[in-house]
């Protein structure tokens, strides 16, 4: 059995719910529409499900000129794309600083009410730039509001191997990948350096280190009190740089990828 793309996930707002399209456009910063919106606090620092476990319950659906926000016990809200010439707001994601476009006050109020804190929503347009870590990328490589790299890939067998060790199995969305590959041994991706999916090539640049967000059940919006699955992952996936699960990718071209595409290991 050859390796193939078995799932595709896009997260329009960082830390919020996943969409699962049958195909997606690959752009230099990642899949089209992936993590181009970000929730920030009053100081402009990024806010994620590490702090607010309810965030995966928030569904953001792309509209032709913006987003529709939906969440349990909240009214739906349509948010317009900010005007490109609007005043920008400087925000921080890890150690990156980005001049993003603020959404309107209604979006800020919606997130603040939903999550119980003073929050705001911002957008990354093409004029907002964020470089990847130069230790792992090339000059000019950029990323969206994702943690560090344009795409995250995990083999389906890696999750199967983890679930075989757990009393209560978990779903793949605990790990928030963009690309899931079937038809490989567990963690085969750890040995890859360059791959092709459909018509697009990718560099496999760095293992993904995992954090407490993996303990948040995205279907309940609650953290597991037992610390799973991170506790079990720590028992067999610890490295000098942290607990790893999945690989970060940088695309080396544009194009469409789709479910069922062959995943070819080039190096």
Instruction: Show which of 123, 158, 178 is a domain's final residue.
Output: 123
Distances (CA, A) of 2 to 181, 182, 194, 261, 265: 10, 8, 16, 10, 10
Q: What is the Cα–Cα distance from 63 to 70, expressed in whole angstroms?
A: 13
151-155 and 179-182 strand pairing: parallel
133 in any annotated domain: no
130 in any annotated domain: no
Distances (CA, A) of 96 to 37, 101, 132, 144, 213: 15, 16, 9, 11, 20
Question: Same structural domain for residues 26 and 42?
Answer: no
Question: Same structural domain for residues 111 and 200?
Answer: no
* Domain tally, the chain: 2
CA dihedral for 168, 173, 177, 181, sign (positive or negative):
positive
104 in any annotated domain: yes
Range of the domain at 99: 37-123
Confidence at residue 13, expressed as pLDDT on a 0 to 100 scale: 98
- pLDDT, tens digit (0-9, with 9 covering 90-100), for 223-265: 999 999 999 999 999 999 999 999 999 999 999 999 999 999 9
231 in any annotated domain: yes
Instruction: Show which of 123, 157, 182 is a domain's final residue.
Output: 123
Question: Same structural domain for residues 69 and 193?
Answer: no
Question: Same structural domain for residues 80 and 111?
Answer: yes
- pLDDT, tens digit (0-9, with 9 covering 90-100), for 141-177: 999 999 999 999 999 999 999 999 999 999 999 999 9
> Is 205:192 a contact under the CB 8 Å cutoff?
no
Question: Same structural domain for residues 186 and 146?
Answer: yes
203 in any annotated domain: yes
Instruction: Show which of 76, 91, 123 is a domain's final residue.
Output: 123
Confidence at residue 158, expressed as pLDDT on a 0 to 100 scale: 98
179 in any annotated domain: yes
Confidence at residue 20, expressed as pLDDT on a 0 to 100 scale: 98
Question: Same structural domain for residues 49 and 76?
Answer: yes
Question: Same structural domain for residues 26 and 61?
Answer: no
Question: Same structural domain for residues 119 and 158?
Answer: no
Question: Same structural domain for residues 143 and 27?
Answer: yes
Q: CATH number, domain at 156?
A: 2.40.33.20
Mean pLDDT for the stretch of residues 88-113: 97
128 in any annotated domain: no
54 in any annotated domain: yes
């Amino acid at each position: 059995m050859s390796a193939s793309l078995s799932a595709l996930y896009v997260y329009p707002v960082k830390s919020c719910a996943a969409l699962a399209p049958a195909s997606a456009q690959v752009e230099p910063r990642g899949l089209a529409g992936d993590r181009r919106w970000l929730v920030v606090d009053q100081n402009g620092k990024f806010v994620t499900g590490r702090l607010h476990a309810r965030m995966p319950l928030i569904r953001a659906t792309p509209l032709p000129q913006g987003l529709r926000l939906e969440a349990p016990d909240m009214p739906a809200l349509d948010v317009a794309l900010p005007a490109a010439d609007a005043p920008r707001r400087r925000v921080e994601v890890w150690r990156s600083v980005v001049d993003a476009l603020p959404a309107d006050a209604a979006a800020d109020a919606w997130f603040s009410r939903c999550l119980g804190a003073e929050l705001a929503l911002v957008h990354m347009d093409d004029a907002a730039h964020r470089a990847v870590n130069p230790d792992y990328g090339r000059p000019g490589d950029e990323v969206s509001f994702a943690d560090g790299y344009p795409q995250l890939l995990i083999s389906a067998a890696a999750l199967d191997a983890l679930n075989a060790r757990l009393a209560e199995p978990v779903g793949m969305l605990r790990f928030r990948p963009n690309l899931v590959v079937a038809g490989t041994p567990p963690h085969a991706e750890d040995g890859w350096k360059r791959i092709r999916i459909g018509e697009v090539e990718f560099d496999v640049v760095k293992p993904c280190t995992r954090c407490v967000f993996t303990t948040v059940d995205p279907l309940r919006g609650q953290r597991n009190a037992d610390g799973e699955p991170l506790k079990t992952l720590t028992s067999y996936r610890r490295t000098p740089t942290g607990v790893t699960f999945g690989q970060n990718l940088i695309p080396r071209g544009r194009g469409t990828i789709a479910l069922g595409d062959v995943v070819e290991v080039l190096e």
